[in-house]
């Protein structure tokens, strides 16, 4: 997975559907230097999302969930903007350390860790781990007895696309027994963590989850535990093909819950992934083939579900395809480049008639996309190109750092250089 960095004006922000970070003219120019498919990353979109989290949830520490997109440029961009990183493995924490995150700012939130992973993470200096079952207590006691622990609790949420509580989180009846077992083994449980499920579409779940966490805090308190930490996880959605409430609306509801049920001085954490990495990336693909099958146009493009559209399978996500052609919209099938019949990007999107060679833009392609892409059939996953807004680059320390240290890809053609210098 290669990353290149160039510089041009970034696109619009939207409160409705995710919008592409570049327009078609810019995509066309970039494609003269970087063959499609490629992902275009807009740092200003990342900065915008994080500033919304900061504004609406002051006092809640942000640990970026790097599982959503472990791209090193993203980690570099956010290094001075977030409080730390949420990792699921030693592999992820190793990338963070290479990028310069201190182990003091890494929290390992996988509730079931293999022993090698746990041992290596402890050696790296990671001090915060998550548990949700009795068996994990034995492992922690042996390999990480002095760590700070959070107990992950399950949250019922019918309004999320990825139900993480189907796999993780202690059920209510198991919570006190697990806490007591941890205490009897001399372990230090500092509080509760939860995740309402990813791409969670109703803000109110944050309020009810926090209310439930308060109940657990009270029960634990009665049993003699003094918790000082609440980790409210991630789950904030982005608007792929349906317009959802905005990030600020979700944060407002969560913030109201936190203020109502918890004291201001509690150690609040969150682990957002998608809302930081999702909207900042647009995929640029090209139509490489066309057929009529059973009377329906099929368009074959140069990336598919084995590439950045992998989230179609793993993230249950339906991505938007944008064409700049005019003309009446018609039912069509858009398929990826591999020889597998599962490699269908879209069955249900109406597009104008496309030609071989056309570019398509897919906004909101940053989270759970390239992270799970493969090279199946010999098609390499798309590279990521970082596109800066020059005015903002001059304004901020963080961006200056990137410009000075990492501006390394220089467009080869005069046309692409013109975009870079615009
Ligand atoms: C433990 C944990 N934290 C945070 C996240 C990030 O969630 P999201 O991308 O929905 O914000 C996930 C996603 O799987 C997760 O498993």
Contacts of 21 (CB under 8 A, 6+ apart): 10, 11, 40, 41, 42, 45, 280, 281, 282, 363, 387
Is the CB of residue 161 less than 8 Å from the CB of residue 199? yes
124-178: pLDDT as tens digits: 999 999 999 999 999 999 999 999 999 999 999 999 999 999 999 999 999 999 9
- 416 pLDDT tier (thresholds 50, 70, 90): low
pLDDT at position 312, please?
A: 97
Angstrom distance (rounded) from CA 12 to CA 383: 22
- Taking CA atoms only, the protein residue closest to ligand 1 atom 16 is 164
Domains and CATH numbers, the chain: 5-42+280-421 (2.40.37.10), 43-277 (3.20.20.10)
Is the CB of residue 192 less than 8 Å from the CB of residue 230? yes
More reliable by pLDDT, 331 or 410:
331
Distance 274 CA to ligand 1 centre (A): 8
Distances (CA, A) of 32 to 360, 389, 413: 15, 20, 7
Of ligand 1's listed atoms, the one at least distance from the Cα of 130 is 1
Q: Which residues are catalytic?
A: 339
Worst-scoring range by mean pLDDT, 31-40, 320-329, 411-420? 411-420
- 415 pLDDT tier (thresholds 50, 70, 90): low
Distance 195 CA to ligand 1 centre (A): 7
Distance 400 CA to ligand 1 centre (A): 30
Of ligand 1's listed atoms, the one at least distance from the Cα of 193 is 1
Distance 203 CA to ligand 1 centre (A): 16
Of ligand 1's listed atoms, the one at least distance from the Cα of 199 is 10
Is the CB of residue 357 less than 8 Å from the CB of residue 323? no
Distance 95 CA to ligand 1 centre (A): 18
- 388 pLDDT tier (thresholds 50, 70, 90): confident
pLDDT at position 15, please?
A: 59
Q: pTM for the full model?
A: 0.90
Mutate to test the pocket of ligand 1, among 195, 206, 209, 371 (most ligand atoms within 8 A of CB): 195
Distances (CA, A) of 380 to 291, 373, 387: 24, 9, 21
Mutate to test the pocket of ligand 1, among 68, 112, 316 (most ligand atoms within 8 A of CB): 68
Q: Percentage of the chain with pLDDT > 70?
A: 88
Q: Measure the CA angle with vertex 47, ends 162 and 15; round to 5°.
A: 60
249-291: pLDDT as tens digits: 999 999 999 999 999 999 999 999 999 999 999 999 999 999 9
Ligand 1 lining (C-beta closer than 6 Å): 65, 67-68, 86, 109, 164, 195, 198, 233-236, 271-274, 367
Is the CB of residue 152 less than 8 Å from the CB of residue 169? yes
For residue 77 the two structure tokens come to: 């961009």
Of ligand 1's listed atoms, the one at least distance from the Cα of 367 is 9
């Amino acid at each position: 997975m290669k990353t290149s960095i160039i510089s041009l004006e970034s696109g619009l922000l939207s409160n409705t559907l995710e919008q592409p970070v570049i327009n078609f003219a810019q995509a066309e120019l970039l494609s003269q230097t970087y063959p499609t498919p490629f992902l275009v990353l807009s740092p200003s979109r990342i900065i915008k999302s994080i500033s919304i989290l900061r504004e609406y949830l002051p006092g809640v520490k942000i640990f970026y969930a790097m599982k959503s997109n472990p791209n090193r440029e993203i980690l570099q961009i956010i290094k001075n903007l977030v409080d730390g990183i949420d990792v699921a493995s030693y592999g992820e924490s190793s990338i963070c350390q290479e990028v310069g995150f201190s182990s003091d700012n890494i929290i390992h939130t996988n509730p079931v860790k293999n022993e090698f992973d746990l041992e290596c993470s402890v050696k790296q200096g990671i001090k915060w781990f998550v548990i949700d079952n009795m068996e994990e207590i034995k492992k922690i006691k042996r390999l990480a007895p002095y760590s700070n622990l959070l107990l992950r609790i399950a949250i019922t949420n019918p309004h999320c696309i990825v139900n993480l509580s189907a796999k993780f989180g202690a059920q209510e009846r198991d919570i006190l027994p697990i806490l007591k077992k941890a205490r009897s083994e001399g372990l230090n449980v500092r509080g509760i963590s939860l995740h309402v499920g990813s791409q969670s579409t109703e803000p109110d779940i944050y309020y009810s989850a926090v209310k439930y966490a308060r109940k657990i805090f009270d029960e634990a308190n009665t049993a003699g535990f003094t918790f000082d930490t609440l980790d409210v996880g991630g789950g904030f959605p982005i608007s792929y093909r349906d317009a959802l409430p905005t990030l600020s609306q979700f944060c407002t509801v969560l913030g109201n819950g936190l203020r109502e049920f918890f004291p201001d001085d509690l150690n609040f954490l969150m682990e957002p992934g998608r809302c930081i990495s999702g909207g900042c990336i647009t995929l640029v693909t090209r139509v490489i083939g066309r057929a009529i099958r059973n009377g329906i146009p099929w368009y074959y493009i140069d990336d598919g579900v084995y590439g950045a559209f992998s989230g179609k399978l793993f993230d249950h996500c339906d991505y938007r395809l944008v064409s700049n052609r005019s003309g009446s919209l018609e039912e069509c099938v858009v398929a990826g480049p591999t020889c597998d019949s599962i490699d269908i990007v879209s069955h249900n999107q109406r597009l104008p008639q496309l030609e071989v060679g056309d570019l398509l833009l897919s906004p909101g392609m940053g989270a759970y996309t390239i992270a799970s892409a493969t090279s199946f059939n010999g098609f390499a996953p798309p590279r990521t190109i970082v596109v800066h807004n020059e005015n903002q680059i001059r304004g901020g320390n963080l961006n200056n750092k990137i410009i000075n240290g990492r501006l390394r890809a220089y467009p080869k053609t005069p046309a692409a250089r013109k975009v870079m210098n615009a």
